[in-house]
Amino acid sequence: MPATPGLHHVTAIAGEPQAIVDFYAGVLGLRLVKRTVNFDDPTTYHLYFGDRAGRPGTILTFFPWPGAPRGRTGAGQATATAFAVPAGSIPFWAGRLEAAGVSCGEPLTRFGEAVLTLEDPDGLRLELVGRDAAAEGGGWDGGDVPGEHAIRALAGVTLTERDVAATGALLVSSLGLRSVGREGARIRLVADDREPGATVDLVEDRDGAAGHVAVGTVHHVAFRASSDAEQLEFRADLLGAGQSVSPVKDRGYFRSIYVREPGGVLLEVATDAPGFATDEAPAELGHALKLPPWLEPRRRELEGVLPPLSVGGGRRAA
């Protein structure tokens, strides 16, 4: 059975796209590595933020739907998305967030690591985790966050479940994660701890209200498959475990399968290849609207519907 190296990306639902760009590229200093459209609803953006190269394990993506209602976090949801920063950078981030008017409170300690908790403009819960391994390069220094403090990658996600047993069993048996400890109601699973996005925390809330996916909540959590063949192995194993799994879908920058875990969170297994440089040079990532071939005939129409975006320095691109 293959074992995933960790997270590929996390996808959330947002409201106004410019507010999301201002926060993630501006305040958090991530690179906008791809601006494209939701392939299932091409009149809305699909925006990808990550490190310098847009490596799997560094990516948080958004479907912005202006005017859509706010969601509700709760059981059966990914309730926090964590980024890894160098362990010594937590004071820098506390100061930067305060200066930007973003409340994060005092750092807490979890599994021996300092954690800052905050929310984005739509109420999506985020965490900055001080992690020793994050001191080794990889961040984006093209914004105004100094490279030594830059976010390096995803650290992990928290899944809140009424019953963590079935969810944990699937993550262990079908994706190859392993349990490494417990703090109170929080159980920590890890993939390859040498890779980004290796951590999944399961928090049990037996009496909690069910979450509702809309603006300010996570839509799905994607894990990595190193190849198409490995992805098919994951799919066969999930089907063998009695799960309903989608066919392979081509998302342009990776191929995907989807399964809803027993607690209700939508999971994806995405291939590492071909990556975000397949349709634009690495130095130009995120500069222009990129469309899949079947939507190119609609480019003028879509550019007329999608609002222009500004990414630092006043630069605007459709």
Cα 188 from Cα 178, distance rounded (Å) = 8
67: in domain: yes
Domain at 224, CATH number? 3.10.180.10
Q: How far is CA 54 from CA 78, 169, 242, 255, 261, in A?
A: 22, 30, 34, 16, 27
pLDDT tens, residue by residue, 117-150: 999 999 999 999 999 876 666 789 888 899 999 9
Residue 315: pLDDT above 60?
no
Instruction: Pick 19 or 317 by higher pLDDT.
Output: 19
pLDDT at 138: 73
Average pLDDT over residues 51-78: 96
- Domain count for the chain: 1
Is pTM beyond 0.85 here? yes
140: in domain: yes
pLDDT tens, residue by residue, 273-286: 999 999 999 999 99
Please say whether the beta carbons of 291 and 248 come within 8 A.
no
272: in domain: yes
2: in domain: no
1: in domain: no
pLDDT tens, residue by residue, 253-278: 999 999 999 999 999 999 999 999 99
294: in domain: yes
Residue 200 belongs to what domain range? 7-317
Token pair recorded at residue 43? 């009149």
82: in domain: yes
